[in-house]
Amino acid sequence: MASLNKFPRLQPEPIKKNCRVSDLIDGCFKAYNGGRLAEACRLFSQKMLADDGTVGMSITGALTPAGLGKAAIVPLMKAGFVDWIVSTGANLYHDLHYGLGMALHAGSAFLDDIALRNEGIIRIYDVLFGYDVLLDTDAFVRQVIQEPEFQKTMGSDEFHYRLGRFVFEREKKLGLSETSVLSAAYQYGVPVFTSSPGDSSIGMNVAAMALRESSLQFDVNRDVNQSAAIVYGAKSAGGKSSVFILGGGSPKNFILQTEPQIQEVMGIHERGHDYFLQCTDARPDTGGLSGATPGEAVSWGKIDPGNLPDCVVCYADATLALPLITAYALSKAAPRKRKRLYDFRDQTLDRLRKQYMKSGTVEKIAHRTDLSRKKRS
């Protein structure tokens, strides 16, 4: 029984009228995924944001159509709590609707989709908007990418920075403020990558304009190296690197593969990300939890094994968890000076390049699968 003394006693506080979110989480979220959410809040606000650590966020699932870009992600960037982002293209595309002042509506998941189609209404679960929202957003993207500054090959972070500037200008004309993730990322110098540039309506419009002889191309090699450079820049300067993962999918792997890119591919000594926080409703035993658990990520070198206890997976819908974590962090942690990592992208990449050329591994390593070795008779 004495061993129980090392565990805190369960004594939840009674919920009172007008209870603050932070008090509710600290006082009542004690077990199961409520307990994991409380751990997530404390990990983010007390450790990931401490000592000027670098925080990357990955975004999967239809979060921006639900308004969580404006409600949560933009406030986190503004407070200096998110330093760089990897997102699905779809989240960035639907984010544009808000920056362009278009109307999305809270509807129902149980409507007649054939009737909606006949009325020109699009449904994302219980979010509704007119088909003209798609057409007008597409037209905006096509108009912007015809500008001379887009007629070249560029990383997706540069593309989103330039696109964000046009969204920012449109917001000002419409009298809007802080409605768009891309606009806020432009203002605050937050690099935004997408791991699959062609897998969204933004990429579809870029592809269509290529048929009209647009010279815009995405430099995926730069994206891989640039994102790894952000992590290497943080760690080599003696700082911490953290990942805040919403959902899973390709953005999760892309933000985590930065460490294997440094260690495995480039052969530069590193130990992995320091802190790992994921909100997901997927399960590892069915193969649905993309990138799997923090423990499994340790085996890949993605997570520092010494910090495994400081890794939290909260099995909860991100549309529930993200607003709560955001409210908790904003009430518990002081705003940080924004790193504006985008402003130093060339210097950051050059630092990684020099280290790779100096001490990285490029030679062939003898291995039993080396096809150049003679087969045994």
Would you call 332 exposed, middle or buried from its count of C-beta atoms within 10 A (0-12, 13-18, 19+)? Answer: middle
CA distance 353 to 341: 17
The residue behind tokens 């100096």 is 358
Residue 245 DSSP symbol? E
- Are the C-beta atoms of residues 84 and 365 closer than 8 Å to each other? no
Angle, helices 156-174/181-188, rounded to nearest 10 degrees: 110
- Are the C-beta atoms of residues 46 and 25 closer than 8 Å to each other? no
CA distance 15 to 27: 8
CA distance 371 to 203: 38
Strands (E), 104-238: 105-106, 121-124, 127-130, 153-154, 192-194, 217-218
Which DSSP string do the residues of 197-232 spell out, in sequence order? TTSSHHHHHHHHHHTTT---EE-HHHHHHHHHHHHH
3-class state of residue 351 by DSSP: helix
Active-site residue, selected from the candidate residues 302, 339, 364, 374: 302
Please name the amino acid found at residue 81. Answer: F
Order of all β-strands in the sheet with 121-124: 105-106, 127-130, 121-124
Q: How many CB atoms lie within 10 A of CB 117?
A: 12
**Sequence-separated (6 or more) residues with CB below 8 Å from residue 106:** 126, 127, 128
| 153-154/192-194 β-pairing | unpaired
Tokens of residue 352, six digits: 């990684």
**302 catalytically annotated:** yes
CA distance 7 to 370: 51
Q: Which residues are designated catalytic?
A: 302
